[in-house]
Amino acid sequence: MNVNVIYYSRGGNTKKVAEVVAQECGVEAIDIAERHVLPETDLLFIGMGIYAGRPDHVLLDYLDQLPANRVKGAALFTTSATGKDRTELVLNLLTHKGITPYKIHCNCKGRFLLKNKGRPNEVDFEEARNFTRRVLRAFNG
Ligand SMILES: Cc1cc2nc3c(=O)[nH]c(=O)nc-3n(C[C@H](O)[C@H](O)[C@H](O)COP(=O)(O)O)c2cc1C
């Protein structure tokens, strides 16, 4: 099974979580701002920061352009100031392509201005590792 981890991170918080998720999967995290072509993928972890209540359009455009039959499963993780799940637009896009993401998402708090100093932190990373293991187990059946 080919697993890949992609992310879009303006400030580096999501990048840190993506690297933990990727390490757990035994792959390198792919920054979609730098690398546009997705390698052969069965299961795709998708990481995103949240800006003004939504993921960046760079990530949305990237997912919109993914060939529909390219990916069989997906799992979402976010970082944001509130730690709330704001993945609706991504979910709509993926569902439209016939990809149903894993039902649980990993939502970490990320540092933003004076809030959440030091986040994501080791506790967040451990949560991300547990999330990754859970998704891998579910996908492997
Ligand atoms: C321009 C901007 C807008 C943001 N808007 C929100 C928001 O609406 N809700 C929220 O919870 N966090 C918001 N944040 C905080 C980010 O989601 C948080 O810092 C996140 O960890 C950023 O991820 P990144 O470092 O990977 O870019 C905003 C941050 C920036 C820079």
Q: How confident is the model at residue 118 (pLDDT cuts 50, 70, 90)?
A: very high
Q: Is residue 140 part of a domain?
A: no
Q: Is residue 123 part of a domain?
A: yes
- Does residue 14 line the site of ligand 1, with CB under 6 A? yes
If we measure between CA atoms, which residue out of 11, 15, 9 comes closest to residue 28? 15
CATH number at residue 44: 3.40.50.360
Nearest CA to ligand 1 atom 23: 49
Nearest CA to ligand 1 atom 19: 112
Position 69 scores a pLDDT of: 80
**Longest CA span, the chain:** 43
Q: Is residue 79 part of a domain?
A: yes
Please classify residue 102 by burial: count the beta carbons closer than 10 Å to its beta carbon, then call 0-12 exposed, 13-18 middle and 19+ buried.
middle
- Does residue 9 line the site of ligand 1, with CB under 6 A? yes
Number of domains in the chain: 1
Nearest CA to ligand 1 atom 20: 80
Q: How confident is the model at residue 67 (pLDDT cuts 50, 70, 90)?
A: confident
pLDDT tens readout for residues 70-102: 899 999 999 999 999 999 999 999 999 999 999
Q: How confident is the model at residue 15 (pLDDT cuts 50, 70, 90)?
A: very high
* Sign of the alpha-carbon dihedral angle for 135, 49, 98, 6: negative
Q: Is residue 141 part of a domain?
A: no
pTM check: above 0.75: yes
pLDDT tens readout for residues 3-13: 999 999 999 99
Domain interval for residue 68:
3-134
